[in-house]
Amino acid sequence: MVIYDSHKREKVEFKPIKNDEVRIYVCGPTVYDDAHLGHARSSISFDLLRRTLEVIGYKVIFVKNFTDIDDKIINKMNSTGKSLKEITEYYIDSYLRDMEALNVKRADIEPKATESLDAMFDIIQKLLDKGYAYKLENGDIYFDVSKDEEYCKLSNKCQDDEVVHRVETHGKRNPADFALWKACKGEGDVCFDSPFGKGRPGWHIECSAMIKKHIAYDGEYEIDIHGGGADLFFPHHENEEAQSHCAYGGHLAKYWMHNGFVQINGEKMSKSLGNSFFVKDALKYYSGEVLRFYLMSTHYRAPLNFSEEDLIASKKRLDKLYRLKKRIYGVTKKQKDKEFENKLLEAMKDDLNISKALAAIDEFVREANENLDKNPKDKVLKQKIVSNIEFIDKLLGVGGSDAFEYFQSGIDEETKRKIEELIQKRSAAKKEKDFSLADKIRDELKTMGVVIQDTPNGTVWEKI
């Protein structure tokens, strides 16, 4: 497999630290608000990476953290009067529901910052003992970037003086020094006991500590892949790498991967710009599978300019796969099509080349329909189609829904209930051989934009 290493700025052959295992850490959300499309894009990108590695045959240990202590969370506490636990648990649950709707696999380990304080204390103490960190009179502890000869070599982004000097100094030795521990500032602050006095951790120390606690190897590299959004490369990941290798030696990750931004009207998605689009809002109008398919259809490293017109066009592309699935509805036996599977997997092994993968799916759908037109009773053909769609679902996380239920998304529950009642009345009329009533009900459903189909497994329907 070939991946793009953000550090080397080129595609490289992926070789895990251990032959049969891959350890991945992806920076998760700060849980003070609902998940937005930027969170969804990152989650789907690394879900595709994970699925690809698993299909290749690796055992993947996947970690995604929750930052559950932060200035934004404290501000939310002060504005709502709710406790830290109430706010963070609510938004963690909300995030997990949204990711489940997008068919993103749950991480194997989901650590929280507040549950990893001892690991943070260990790193901070080592940095103090080795002279890489210093304590101010107010109790704050900072990492001294001037003591790390390798600082900036990961991202190569802090050569920009403007980036460094726009940071407030707060009594630091160097403008780029970053907080490891923030001393308690009094009423309204959230504080924890520590060997350094009451306070709370800086943001960057959290991920280094959770990696060390849960999945780090001893050796040249602690994990195989560290990932996150492109905005995290500097300063967050640069600072993680600095504090980790200074404390323990070696390097934090062998490979670094970053997904591109989601933009709306050409601007990076940001709460401060007032253009953030919550996942929960999108799910009111489109199924999670449709949203997933749209967000993954642009290569993970490229920026995605969100457009509802593009989302609708993307849905139509996915519709074609489900219309094919409808044609073989009820077929359960499978027969592997290794040629198709290899074509799809080879595309994803090329740095998750989703364009090439989706083109292979388009070709498969077109050829399958043509062959069904010519040979509608070909059992082997149908069994290969079933197998291929299952493989698409396994690798890409789409195509696994019921073919008819897929076309029912976006319909409110009351309307669904009415449709189901009419279908039941029609079934009863047919059983009593009242075909006139049955036809009348079919026509009524048609006026509602509902098409029905009688199958050996019962009557199924879709909204057109």
Span 220-245, pLDDT tens digits: 999 999 999 999 999 999 999 999 99
Q: Is 229 strand, coil or helix?
A: strand
| 405 close to 289: Cβ distance less than 8 angstroms | no
Element (H, E) at 436: helix 435-447
Whole-prediction pTM value? 0.91
- The two tokens of residue 190 are 């959230």
Identify the DSSP state of 331: -
> Quick check: 10 pLDDT over 60?
yes
State the pLDDT at residue 163: 45
> Quick check: 265 pLDDT over 60?
yes
332-374 tens-digit pLDDT: 999 999 999 999 999 999 999 999 999 999 999 999 999 999 9
In this prediction, residues 4-22 reach a mean pLDDT of: 97
Q: Is 203 strand, coil or helix?
A: helix
CA triple 274-276-281, angle to 5 deg: 125
State the pLDDT at residue 389: 98
- The 3-state DSSP composition of the chain as helix, strand, coil percent (nearest 5) reads 50, 20, 35
Cβ partners under 8 Å of residue 464, min gap 6: 407, 449, 450, 451
Question: In terms of DSSP bridges, do strands 262-264 and 59-64 run parallel, antiparallel, or are they unpaired?
Answer: unpaired
Cross-strand partners of 112: 66
Q: For residue 165, what pLDDT band results from cuts at 50, 70 and 90? A: very low
Backbone angles phi, psi at 397, to 5 degrees: 80, 20
Q: For residue 192, what pLDDT band results from cuts at 50, 70 and 90? A: very high
For residues 115 and 459, the model is more confident at 115
42 vs 227: CA distance, rounded Å:
9
Range in 113-117, 123-127, 326-330 the model is least confident about? 326-330
Residue 463: is it exposed, middle or buried by C-beta count within 10 angstroms (0-12/13-18/19+)?
Answer: middle
